[in-house]
Amino acid sequence: MPAVENKKYLDIIERLRPFDDIFMRILFKDNKELVQRILNILLNRTDIKIRKYEIQKDMKQILSRSIIPDIVIEDTDGNIYDIEVERSAKKAPVERLRYYASVLDVEYAKKT
């Protein structure tokens, strides 16, 4: 491979961070302890125990826009958490957060 192409790929790799999608899938895969630790840090707690989690879960919607949350976590008490990582310092629009929450509500609503 020519040196110019190597430099191009190295430049791309140097800009990546652990919370970029490509690394998240690898870093958090089969690493429940790490995901649990991050959730507890984000919520300033020490008692949350994870039952299961999914990285980049594709949540298809029929009548509306589908979403792919970064990390969806279910704790041992049945609570659902959605961790969304933003690359920019600009906050995500509240409408997007509300939409994600509504899709999660529908996805995880108990069937009666």
**Segment 31-42, tens digit of pLDDT:** 999 999 989 998
Phi, psi of 30 (to 5 degrees): 55, 35
Domain total in the chain: 1
For residues 46 and 26, which has the higher predicted lDDT (pLDDT)? 46
| pLDDT of amino acid 2 | 61
Q: Which residues pair with 67 in a beta bridge?
A: 59
Range of the domain at 34: 3-108
Residue 21 has pLDDT above 80, yes or no: no
- Please state the pTM of the whole predicted model: 0.74
Residue 94 has pLDDT above 90, yes or no: no
Mean pLDDT for the chain? 84
